[in-house]
């Protein structure tokens, strides 16, 4: 096992940390307040290579792998989860195309998505379900050389900026299939973005598909393979969310240290209080544990050995950790942390979604537990 980063990975950390410090930090509050998608920062992330660490060089990626993908997300999310999460959300469709696309689909979409010249949206969730693929009601009816897609999706992040949408729909056999759809198609309607509690500015929108006609060549993978596409994509998405959680916790720890160093209690720096040191110690230990679990999980993906249980474990643990750590950070900040004057309240709001999106924690536990129950080998 090698716990050291190579030169290229250290470069990714440095580039992402510098980008976060110089370009993102001054914008984080405004993005949250205005619920405004930072399109310029998204383009800049493309130029800096953050959409291509996990993509092969033939599509413009660096081919460095999923470890570099999580390193970039972590550094940026320590400053703004909205900005860092764009990488993980975009990766859902990228991964779907890379693993299931035809040569033509890969050439058509991946270079632009990697370069940040275009973005993608991944629309699985519907009004009645975000957790159960069997309950999807969007349909894709074959008609000649086309499919006609109708239904309503919701919480489609990045939708207004996307030049391609991965849409999950039931075909005539009743099985879920995945399609690559141009959001500019007739009948594709993107509604106004939702007012979310956290990661504001991610352009999370309801989407309506009213008899959208797509050529049969829009099918991603085989008919009925949609569930496989979904699982493959969210395995990568979940590693990204684990990295988002580690980033948020790191940001909360940084803010707490700053605050405690600069505030006095009974004429002594707050950092001298054993209770504050205890909170800082707990936050640090938990963040560090989740960080290395996340790196290891990304490394498994790089080595082609990632299971659904692994990515569920990383996301479950890291998201729980982030919520506990921001809670401790809030305690350190006291009443001022509870106001909009200080930024910790944004992190407190942002952290929650890591336990909800791309498989809720309750289901993650069942995935891990179910897998353990089925495994015949011993644990370690
Ligand atoms: C900011 C944001 C961005 C998002 N971006 C996207 C996106 O880009 N694309 C997309 O498709 N979706 C997106 N989503 C949607 C998100 O992935 C789903 O909402 C999420 O998977 C949960 O689905 P649900 O809301 O239907 O919850 P439900 O499935 O209704 O679950 C609600 C609760 O019921 C319980 N529960 C549900 N099922 C089970 C079970 N099997 N066992 C035990 N308990 C259970 C859990 O307590 C769970 O928390 C986003 C959501 C948010 C908030």
Counting atoms of ligand 1 from 1, which one is nearest the CA of 157? 8
Burial of 327 by CB count in 10 Å (0-12 exposed, 13-18 middle, 19+ buried)?
middle
For residues 328 and 276, give the distance between their C-alpha atoms in angstroms, rounded to a whole number.
9
Q: Would you say the C-alpha torsion 303, 241, 246, 65 has a positive or negative sign?
A: positive
Residue 173 pLDDT: 85
96: nearest Cα among 126, 55, 125, 150: 55
Nearest CA to ligand 1 atom 47: 362
pLDDT band at residue 378 under the 50/70/90 scheme: low
Nearest CA to ligand 1 atom 29: 131
Residue 172 pLDDT: 81
Residue 130 pLDDT: 86
Residue 231 in this model has a pLDDT that exceeds 80: yes
Q: Report the relative pairing of strands 119-123 and 162-170 from DSSP bridges.
A: parallel
90: nearest Cα among 180, 151, 159, 193: 159
Residue 225 in this model has a pLDDT that exceeds 90: yes
* Domain spans in the chain, listed from the N-terminal domain onward: 7-119, 122-222, 227-374
Residue 329 in this model has a pLDDT that exceeds 70: yes
Cβ < 6 Å from ligand 1: which residues? Answer: 89, 122-125, 129-131, 155-157, 196, 199, 202, 204, 353, 356-360, 362-363, 366
Catalytic residues: 358
Residue 60 pLDDT: 98
* pLDDT tens-digit readout, 20-39: 999 999 999 999 999 999 99
Residue 376 in this model has a pLDDT that exceeds 90: no
For the domain bounded by 7-119, which CATH number is listed?
1.10.540.10
Percent of the chain clearing pLDDT 90 (strictly above):
94
Q: Are 285 and 323 in contact (CB under 8 A)?
A: no
pLDDT band at residue 380 under the 50/70/90 scheme: low
232: nearest Cα among 242, 243, 220, 214: 220
* pLDDT tens-digit readout, 269-314: 999 999 999 999 999 999 999 999 999 999 999 999 999 999 999 9
Mean per-residue pLDDT for 235-245? 98
Residue with tokens 């030049």: 163
Mean per-residue pLDDT for 206-235? 97
Nearest CA to ligand 1 atom 44: 362
Distance from Cα 44 to the centre of ligand 1, integer Å? 30
Residue 129 pLDDT: 86
Distance from Cα 357 to the centre of ligand 1, integer Å? 5
Question: What backbone phi and psi angles, to 5 degrees, belong to 319?
Answer: -70, -40
Q: Are 38 and 201 in contact (CB under 8 A)?
A: yes
309: nearest Cα among 244, 379, 229, 357: 379
Residue 263 in this model has a pLDDT that exceeds 60: yes
Q: Ligand 1 pocket check: which of 130, 156, 236 to mutate, most ligand atoms within 8 Å of Cβ?
A: 130
Mean pLDDT of the chain: 96
Distance from Cα 356 to the centre of ligand 1, integer Å? 6
* pLDDT tens-digit readout, 46-103: 999 999 999 999 999 999 999 999 999 999 999 999 999 999 999 999 999 999 999 9
Nearest CA to ligand 1 atom 30: 129
Q: Would you say the C-alpha torsion 9, 10, 11, 12 has a positive or negative sign?
A: positive
Fold category of 122-222 in CATH: Butyryl-CoA Dehydrogenase, subunit A; domain 2 (2.40.110)
Instruction: Count Cα atoms within 13 angstroms, Cβ side, for 180.
Output: 27
290: nearest Cα among 85, 70, 66: 70
Residue 171 pLDDT: 87
* pLDDT tens-digit readout, 158-180: 999 999 999 999 988 899 999 99
Residue 377 in this model has a pLDDT that exceeds 70: no
Q: Any idea of the CA torsion for 205, 206, 211, 214, to the nearest 10 degrees?
A: 40
Structure tokens at 32: 């949250």
- Convert 112-146 to b/e letters by CB count within 10 Å (16 or more is b): bbbbbebbbbbbbbbeeebeeeeebebbbeeeeeb
Fold category of 227-374 in CATH: Butyryl-CoA Dehydrogenase, subunit A; domain 3 (1.20.140)
Counting atoms of ligand 1 from 1, which one is nearest the CA of 168? 11
- φ/ψ bin of 107: left (φ > 0), alpha (ψ from -120 to 50), beta (otherwise): alpha
């Amino acid at each position: 096992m090698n716990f050291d980063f190579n030169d290229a990975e250290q470069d990714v950390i440095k580039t992402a940390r510098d980008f976060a410090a110089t370009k993102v930090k001054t914008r984080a509050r405004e993005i949250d307040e205005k619920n405004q998608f930072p399109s310029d920062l998204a383009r800049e992330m493309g130029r800096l290579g953050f959409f291509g660490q996990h993509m092969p060089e033939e599509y413009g990626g660096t081919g460095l792998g999923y470890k570099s993908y999580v390193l970039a997300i972590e550094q940026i999310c320590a400053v703004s989860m909205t900005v860092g999460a764009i990488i993980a959300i975009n990766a859902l469709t990228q991964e779907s195309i890379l693993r299931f696309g035809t040569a033509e689909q890969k050439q058509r979409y991946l270079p632009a998505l990697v370069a940040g010249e275009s973005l993608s949206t991944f629309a699985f969730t519907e009004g009645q379900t975000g957790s159960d693929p069997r309950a999807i009601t969007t349909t894709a009816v074959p008609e000649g050389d086309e499919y006609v897609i109708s239904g309503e999706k919701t919480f489609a992040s990045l939708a207004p900026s996307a030049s391609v949408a991965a849409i999950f729909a039931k075909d005539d056999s009743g099985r879920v299939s995945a399609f690559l759809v141009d959001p500019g198609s007739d009948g594709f309607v993107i509604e106004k973005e939702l007012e979310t509690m956290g990661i504001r500015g991610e352009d999370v929108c309801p989407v309506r598909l009213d008899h959208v006609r797509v050529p049969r060549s829009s099918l991603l993978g085989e008919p009925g393979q949609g569930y496989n596409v979904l699982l493959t994509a969210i395995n990568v998405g979940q590693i990204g969310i684990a990295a988002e959680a580690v980033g948020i916790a790191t940001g909360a720890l940084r803010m707490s240290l700053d605050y405690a160093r600069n505030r006095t209690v009974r004429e002594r720096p707050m950092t001298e209080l054993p209770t504050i040191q205890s909170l800082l110690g707990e936050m640090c230990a938990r963040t560090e544990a989740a960080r290395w679990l996340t790196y290891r999980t990304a490394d498994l993906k790089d080595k082609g050995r990632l299971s659904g249980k692994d990515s569920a474990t990383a996301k479950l643990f890291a998201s729980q950790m982030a919520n506990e750590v921001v809670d401790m950070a809030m305690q350190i900040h006291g009443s001022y942390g509870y106001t909009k004057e200080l930024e910790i309240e944004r992190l407190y709001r942002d952290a929650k979604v890591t336990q909800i999106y791309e498989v809720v924690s309750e289901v993650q536990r069942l995935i891990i537990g179910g897998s353990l129950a089925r495994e015949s080998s011993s644990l370690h």
